[in-house]
Structure 1
């Protein structure tokens, strides 16, 4: 991963953040829209820029696990194990919040989500700032997350005071979120750090969240969505479904690893490898909007170990279907 931002860019970003301004910066997952997490007025600007509900909690990005006691009143052994195994990296942990952490960051909850990102630009910024940065994805609320600096500029424009360049994001979808604030670990959002990986490190079962779980970023039923309507389909039926909508006069795209070989259907091609699919997913959804598509027929990847659960989750939310793996009733085939 190449570091693009210069030292002078980092210095300018730190000055802006300390002045209560907004700075977008790259992480290995997606670009984040950052503000000083101790400054409630600055955090409020994030919600205004994104059009995000103010009771929705944010992830606080920190420079290292050594900063955990500044943000959490209790750091359990499970958090220490996961930090040692996966930080810096695409994992956020929900812990009991420390005194003085603003309600603006936690959505009024008694917990706070914390993460140490892996991207060198993000780490350089956090070390220079010497504090926590509240940073959801740098896009309008509910829309497709940005994986390149130009996505941030296109979507937020002058709502953000500075965008730090960091190239294309290496992971491409948002971090895993695990809740460690209760009696057992609970997966709130799947990501590149999988349940199997968490369980191997913790030596215990990690339960998937139910409907009444702790609120967390990216858990609304409709999220990560392009303007085009997204419909999920099986590999066997996707082309015929796309053909039907095209025959009805819709501008249709097929999001899959296989080209449709059908005139009039735009192919939003994905690689065969699941990790590569995650890196390209949001770019393909943005391509759908750039092409002016009405409908995207998305082939649901098979559920295997690795990032495939997270891919299914993002596609379900892009289609407005919420939690859980797709079943036959979800597939428009």
Structure 2
């Protein structure tokens, strides 16, 4: 299969592929998603095959408007409507209970709930409208690898496996959307993202659970990223927790006989002397730029070098830092550099 690359002006042609049951990757403000007609079971099953994704890992349904959600979900609560008004379009995914038989188990992982999102990307909203159907959209990468933040990342993983890619340049947020479960009595964040718990609580006026990011081996996850290995590059990532740990980490790197990757902010890179065998990747100036660049950095070392070990800077797990550290910890397999 030849994977075609479409520009935003070519949305109609990309939508025709979706209508024919084929797969088209699409841009969002977070990462690139792998799109298929959410009502076409055969197309949805192809998503799992193309990604090498476990079939009990549910998919997020991307919509162009709230009316589409209401076709599939049970009546939306007041809290849901407040959140939709505050954060859609945007990086907030919400899980709702479904009307009986509304979506195939291939989309839901066999659950009676589904996750919905209205992405903040004009090209993708136009794609959904032109296809005249909601589209499923897990990250457009090989399952378990760092999520794609450019069309080139998608091509690296899925070239020849999918029909097309809608290219709208690099994504802005860089980490996947916040996933909020609204199918339970108390809302719970199942995956942290740019929309924080405090921001959600300020809108709905009630507390949100924040410690439900993992499920057991025999449980079916309600959202992506809760069960399986995620975001891992070929190299081993070591998290450097504190600024004062960098001298020791770089001393260790200098003692290695192979190149070492270093992912850190400009301040860390400028304040420390990097050994000759280290290749740096800037995470910018703060947690916002670091979140936007994290996956690109991990993919940089996968695509362009032979580096087998990466030292990567940690941030405080507050606000957007919670999303950044969630992804970094999974990329590293919870492995931290110890002095």
Verify same fold: TM over 0.5: yes
Contact 1:238 1:297 in 2 (8 A): no
Corresponding position: 1:278 with 2:291: yes
Contact 2:31 2:174 in 1 (8 A): yes
Corresponding position: 1:250 with 2:258: yes
C-alpha distance in structure 2 between counterparts of 1:192 and 1:61, whole Å: 17
| TM-score for both structures, normalised by structure 2 | 0.90
C-alpha distance in structure 2 between counterparts of 1:295 and 1:263, whole Å: 15
| TM-score for both structures, normalised by structure 1 | 0.92
Gaps of 5+ in 2: 1-5
Gaps of 5+ in 1: 322-328
C-alpha distance in structure 2 between counterparts of 1:303 and 1:134, whole Å: 30
1:281 shift after superposition: 1.1
SS at match of 1:237: helix
Which of 323, 326, 333 in structure 2 is aligned with 1:310? 323
Residue 240 of structure 2 is matched in structure 1 by 233
C-alpha distance in structure 2 between counterparts of 1:269 and 1:330, whole Å: 19
Quickly say closer, same or farther: Cα 1:122–1:6, change in 2 above 3 A: closer
SS at match of 2:160: helix
Contact 1:62 1:132 in 2 (8 A): yes
C-alpha distance in structure 2 between counterparts of 1:167 and 1:94, whole Å: 28
C-alpha distance in structure 2 between counterparts of 1:61 and 1:82, whole Å: 16
What whole-Å deviation, never above 9, does each CA across 1:25-70 have from its counterpart, x for those lacking one?
1000001100000111101111000000011000000001122111
What whole-Å deviation, never above 9, does each CA across 1:59-95 have from its counterpart, x for those lacking one?
0000011221112123222111111100000000001
Task: List aligned pairs for 1:191-270, cutoff 5 A.
Answer: 191-210=193-212, 211-212=214-215, 214-220=221-227, 222-234=229-241, 235-257=243-265, 258-259=268-269, 260-261=272-273, 262-270=275-283
Contact 2:264 2:281 in 1 (8 A): yes
Aligned residues: 321
Task: List aligned pairs for 1:45-60, cutoff 5 A.
Answer: 45-60=46-61
Contact 1:221 1:317 in 2 (8 A): no
Residue 326 of structure 1 is matched in structure 2 by none
Contact 1:251 1:293 in 2 (8 A): yes
C-alpha distance in structure 2 between counterparts of 1:10 and 1:141, whole Å: 26
Task: List aligned pairs for 1:64-83, cutoff 5 A.
Answer: 64-83=65-84
C-alpha distance in structure 2 between counterparts of 1:140 and 1:183, whole Å: 35
